[in-house]
């Protein structure tokens, strides 16, 4: 029998060694939980001071999401396991229900959104992030600390699969933080893309790697070379980049929606190609509203800053 949640005695893992981002962002907590048996996991963002303003930008041909219409959120859950991994978001909601002493009033219902990646390319089992793993990740949520690399929802994530070289290279979850004036901006991203990671000099630094030659292919050159050699370009399905952009600057729904679009579009500089048919890219834009206004930043300037932070977050996977 194939290893699955029904056949294995799964124990959530919530403490990790390795690289991490430390940051100061009141009103935002992050928690990570994994099943080593997958390996797979989930990453939860909790807004402990109450629901925050939220907008979602969905691109690519294969998204998997829940709670997409919510304009207020108490938590976001990113997970592996494809559509089965959305169960982890239900676990986050269940844990919040318990914290609220099982109150079921209209304003007591926790608002939780979820999004998933397909992470079965590098592994051969049926283990997925379930309700218990989502609960464990929420219990582990802490302010100011975020594990980087092959952790959480990015435990089995890979990147750079346009040319289908052995299912790409390990990627994972990245993050970056910046403060401009009074305003804080944090970006967290789980990269499981068909595209490769590209640095600011235009070099492919993760993915499109041919193990038979030891060479990486630049996007356009690689396409041209394969076509000239009569080789097909058929990237495998099951790819997605999930992103959370959080700021404490107060934004209305129109501003949040525009911020999300601007940052999501900008990430095509860091991941190439991006928003492909084989991708299911999802970005959550969040405003905690702690800063009423900032004379240094309008929404467009905030988008420029957040876009650079997003690039930093992707590149944190290869630092």
Which tokens hold the place of 286? 């969040």
Q: For position 122, what pLDDT does the model report?
A: 86
- Coil vs helix vs strand at 9: coil
- Coil vs helix vs strand at 84: helix
Euclidean distance between CA atoms 227 and 210, whole angstroms? 16
CA dihedral 245, 250, 253, 255 (to 10 degrees): -70
Q: For position 165, what pLDDT does the model report?
A: 58
Q: For position 224, what pLDDT does the model report?
A: 73
Q: For position 231, what pLDDT does the model report?
A: 72
Q: For position 166, what pLDDT does the model report?
A: 59
Q: For position 220, what pLDDT does the model report?
A: 67
Q: For position 6, what pLDDT does the model report?
A: 95
Residue with tokens 């967290």: 188
Say whether 240 is catalytic.
yes
Q: Could you say which residues of the chain have pLDDT below 50?
A: none
Q: For position 315, what pLDDT does the model report?
A: 98
Q: For position 164, what pLDDT does the model report?
A: 67
Q: For position 212, what pLDDT does the model report?
A: 73
Task: Supply the pTM of this predicted model.
Answer: 0.96
Which candidate, 149, 116, 134, places its Cα nearest to that of 35? 134
Q: For position 89, what pLDDT does the model report?
A: 98
Q: Strand 196-198 to strand 204-206: parallel, antiparallel, or no bridges (unpaired)? A: antiparallel
Which candidate, 170, 169, 90, places its Cα nearest to that of 130? 90
User: Which H or E run contains 55?
Assistant: strand 52-58
Among residues 240, 247, 258, 288, the one annotated as catalytic is 240
């Amino acid at each position: 029998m194939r290893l699955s949640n029904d056949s294995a005695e799964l124990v959530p893992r919530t403490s990790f060694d390795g690289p991490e981002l430390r940051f100061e962002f009141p009103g935002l907590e992050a928690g990570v939980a994994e099943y080593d048996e997958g390996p797979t996991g989930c990453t939860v963002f909790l807004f402990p001071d109450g629901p925050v303003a939220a907008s979602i930008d969905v691109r690519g041909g294969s998204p998997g999401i829940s709670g997409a219409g919510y304009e207020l959120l108490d938590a976001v859950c990113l997970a592996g396991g494809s559509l089965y991994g959305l169960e982890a978001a239900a676990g986050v909601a269940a844990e919040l229900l318990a914290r609220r002493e099982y109150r079921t009033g209209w304003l007591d219902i926790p608002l939780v959104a979820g999004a998933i990646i397909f992470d079965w390319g590098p592994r051969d089992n049926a283990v997925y992030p379930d309700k218990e793993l989502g609960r464990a990740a929420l219990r582990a949520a802490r302010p100011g600390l975020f594990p980087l690399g092959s952790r959480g929802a990015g435990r089995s994530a890979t990147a750079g699969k346009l040319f289908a070289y052995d299912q790409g290279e390990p990627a994972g979850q990245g993050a970056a933080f910046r403060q401009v004036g009074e305003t804080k901006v944090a970006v967290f991203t789980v990269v499981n893309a068909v595209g490769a990671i590209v640095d600011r000099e235009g070099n492919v630094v993760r993915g499109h790697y041919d193990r038979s030659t030891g060479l990486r292919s630049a996007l356009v050159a690689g396409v041209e070379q394969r076509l000239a050699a009569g080789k097909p370009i058929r990237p495998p399905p099951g790819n997605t980049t999930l992103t959370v952009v959080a700021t404490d600057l107060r934004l209305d729904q129109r501003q949040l929606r525009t911020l999300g679009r601007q940052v999501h579009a900008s990430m095509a500089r860091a991941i190439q190609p991006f928003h492909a048919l084989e991708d299911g890219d999802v970005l959550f834009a969040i405003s905690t509203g702690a800063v009423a206004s900032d004379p240094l930043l309008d929404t467009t300037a905030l988008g420029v800053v957040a876009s650079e932070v997003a690039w930093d977050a992707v590149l944190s996977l290869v630092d």
